[in-house]
């Protein structure tokens, strides 16, 4: 592979983000970024394996933002794996992520000594999603939509009250951009609300 091929695969979602662990994730044998379509609720075969120079504790399968399966180790380990079948009644994105204890071996990790030895698990790696469409319905999450609306509302308020702009016209332009984004999320839920 050359650089152009690598970039093209990255754009197709054939990737994972990591601070150390290596992750292989497949959905019906397809790499992350794949899209599959089913006429009715579907069963999807998933597999994840993780090897890591940083201790890992928990591997999660996530569908539309919700943890739907997991594998864990009572003690931090150098690897975890999970394989199973996931039933999907609605269109969904599916990804895998792995957690582990804070460690001073994490690049750009916690810089203060107290954070390094915190018992809290930190996200170490996350795959790009695979997409499954059921009955040609769009992938939709009301929880995610509400999160984005609340986040935009908070940002809009900060722009209005704390934003530093050279002119009021510039502030108005920025606010208009955020208001357009808010309208997208506001209108996004109308197809779900119309369903019986």
Predicted pLDDT at 103 = 76
**What pTM value is reported for the model?**
0.77
Calpha distance 134→172 (Å, rounded): 41
Q: What is the pLDDT of residues 64-112, one digit of tens each?
A: 989 999 999 999 999 999 999 999 999 999 999 999 987 777 765 554 4
pLDDT greater at residue 103 or residue 51: 51
The average pLDDT across 60-66 equals: 94
Q: Is residue 113 scored above 70 in pLDDT?
A: no
Name, in order, each residue with C-beta under 8 angstroms of 20's C-beta and a sequence gap of 6 or more.
52, 53, 54, 105, 106, 107, 124, 125
Average pLDDT across the chain, whole number: 89
Q: Is residue 193 scored above 50 in pLDDT?
A: no
DSSP string, the chain: --HHHHHHHHHTT--EEESS-EEEEEETTBPTT-EEEESS-EEEEEEEEEEEEEEEEEEEEEETTEEEEEEEEEEEEEEEEEEEEEEESS-EEEEEEEEEE--TTSTT---SHHHHT-S-EEEEEEEPPEEEEETTPPP--HHHHHHHHHHHHHHHHHHHHH---SSHHHHHHHHHHHHHHHHHHHHHTHHHHT--
CATH number of 3-134: 2.60.40.10
- For the chain, the structural domain boundaries read 3-134, 142-193
């Amino acid at each position: 592979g050359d650089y152009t091929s690598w970039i093209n695969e990255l754009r197709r979602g054939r990737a994972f983000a990591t601070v150390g662990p290596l992750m292989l994730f497949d959905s019906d044998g397809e790499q992350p970024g794949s899209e599959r379509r089913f006429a009715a609720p579907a069963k999807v075969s998933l597999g994840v394996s993780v090897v890591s120079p940083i201790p890992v504790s928990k591997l999660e399968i996530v569908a539309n933002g919700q943890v739907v399966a997991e594998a864990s180790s009572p003690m931090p380990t150098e690897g975890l794996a999970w394989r199973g079948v996931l039933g999907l009644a609605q269109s969904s994105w599916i990804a895998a992520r792995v957690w582990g204890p804070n460690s001073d071996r994490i690049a750009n990790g916690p810089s203060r000594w107290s954070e390094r030895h915190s018992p809290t698990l930190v996200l170490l790696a996350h795959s790009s999603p695979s997409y499954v469409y059921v009955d040609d319905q769009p992938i939709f999450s009301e929880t995610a939509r509400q999160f984005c609306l609340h986040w935009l509302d908070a940002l809009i308020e900060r722009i209005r009250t704390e934003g530093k702009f050279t002119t009021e016209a510039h502030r108005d332009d920025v606010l208009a951009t955020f208001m357009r984004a808010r309208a997208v999320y506001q209108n996004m839920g109308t197809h779900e609300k119309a369903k019986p």
